[in-house]
Amino acid sequence: MEQRRLKSRTEIPEATKWHLEDIFSDNEQWEKEFTHVEKLINEGKKFEGHLADAPETLIACFEWMDDLSLEIEEIYTYARMRRDEDNRDANYQALTDRAGALAVKVSSSASFVVPELLAIPEGRLKEFRTTSKKLELYNHALEDILRKKEHILSSVEEKLLAEVGELAEAPGAIFSMANNADLKFPSIVDEAGKSVELTKGNFIMFMESHQQSVRKEAFETLYHTYEKQKNTWAATLNSSVKSDIFFSKARNYSSAIAGSLDDDRVPLKVYDSLIDTVHEFLPQMHRYVQLRKKALKLDELHMYDIYVPIVPETTMVITYEQAKDMVIDGLKPLGPDYIKILEEGFQKKWVDVYENEGKTSGAYSWGTYRSHPYVLLNHQDTLDSMFTLAHEMGHSLHTFLSNRKQPHLYAGYKIFVAEVASTLNEALVMEHLLETTKDPKTLAYLINHYLEQFRGTIFRQTMFAEFEKKIHSVVEEGGALTADTLSEIYRNLNAVYYGAEVVLDPEIAIEWARIPHFYNAFYVYKYATGFSAATAFARAILDEGEPAVVRYLEFLSGGGSDYPIELLRKAGVDMETPVPVRNALQVFTGLVERLETLLA
């Protein structure tokens, strides 16, 4: 039986690889900057104990911190992205480890700043801010520090927490290496009867197969492989949860979730309201699941039947070149300036396109302030991969516009708003396809895909968010997170979210073991809130045209110059109310109704 294998990195065409030389021309240049940062770290000692001396000293210290931040960002990003090309490469494993250790030293060297700043008498700091025009740049940064006063520790304690930072990253690093570099899956038989190595990159493609036997084998093979190490995955995730709780307690927060949300100044009610609002619409989710079962003509709908397109005759094969054209066409409502930057990204090798042995799975947008954004893909010639390209380029253009408009201090935007730009791109591309598609079967296929985006981004990510809240509560209340406990919580949530129409195959209970986002706690809810905000923006852009585009591009250019809730509110979307989530789910309800009519 013929077997297709995953290509090595050297077999991938150069034209489809990203050009990391735009960060460092070679490893030697990286080493020079590494050495420079080691020296720069020591310059902080001259500021320690002197921040209250004069506004000029405070400004010089801020500038030193910004230089350090700028350079460690480049050092770490380059090393990690090189490692992501092939996680088995020992050289870039070592560079990433060194970069991570240096980042901890950078953090530790500046750990005196915030406690010392907070110790400056209020009147003196106010005098600094009124007499020094240069300090105006730091107003928002200072306000953000001052509002967290009760959660900032002494200089000694802050230094200790910074030193512990490297240990805190261990669970995520261990998971990443085990999941990306060491974990191997057996081969399965594809639709053509060929033996194919199962990978995390092609798993979803098999889950979209129109042969149920292929879906079932891929599903069971993947999860049985994770099941074999279930106690290791549980111990790793448990350590990550305990780390979250340790840091929240150390900083005097009432819970890990409170500490995490405070970083974005997002009220806990936003998180709870998301879960409550999604639960309101679970009957519509169950209605969609029932429609899927009926359309697929299945006596039983299993968890491995969730991804397969309802309209098999219109399965789209979309090459990377076609995907780029579709994304450009779909995003034209954002105007010529946006499209010009998008095309520049495609032409100047921002994107690493194809899967290879050892490459990090999934997709992301990253980069540095002084270079440009980059996108890692594992393109599979599917509609989903085309939307992934649209999604990641949304992140990249958000970064590009923020970097262009904001100083480095405020260029980085919070994750809470990060998912808005990416999801808006997907929404606009989808709306364009729905508008221009005439064939009813293709239209049904696209609506099904759009519904899957709602399912995957609002319902699924909210389920993940609820899982995170529950597992942290277990530990905070003195319980233990064993593999069985994690699987029981996860299985029960699937039962609630998918309803009685789905057979809960036992393998789904271990899915928590393969989700990397759980190692960055209370992150995934932002996908759901971001999707909701993006839906609001998309409707405004398509309905109003240029005025809405101007508001939106100003939002993208805002970076981290204000709190995320405020940036969105200025652009016309208020996430402190349930309205955006409810409105997005009403769009979902309308799509279900439309698909029911098309398939009748």
CB 357 within 8 A of CB 8: yes
Residue 81 CB neighbours (<10 A): 22
DSSP 179: I
d(CA 221, CA 484): 20
Q: Are strands 351-352 and 301-302 parallel, antiparallel or unpaired?
A: unpaired
Instruction: Give residue 559's identity as a one-letter amino acid code.
Output: G
d(CA 246, CA 251): 9
DSSP 112: T
d(CA 368, CA 564): 21
- CA of 150: how far to CAs of 89, 139, 251, 253, in Å? 44, 19, 8, 9
Phi and psi angles of residue 361, each rounded to the nearest 5 degrees, phi first: -75, 170
How buried is residue 229: exposed, middle or buried, by Cβ count under 10 Å (0-12/13-18/19+)?
Answer: middle
Within 182-294, strands assigned E span 187-189, 195-197
**219 Cα distance to chain centroid:** 24
CB 571 within 8 A of CB 268: no
**Catalytic, out of 73, 392, 426, 466:** 392
To the query of whether residue 392 is one of the catalytic residues in this protein, the response is: yes
Strand (E) or helix (H) holding 503? strand 502-503
Q: Can you name the residues that pair with 367 across neighbouring β-strands?
A: 373
d(CA 442, CA 433): 10
End-to-end CA distance of the chain: 41
How buried is residue 171: exposed, middle or buried, by Cβ count under 10 Å (0-12/13-18/19+)?
Answer: buried
User: Catalytic positions, please?
Assistant: 392
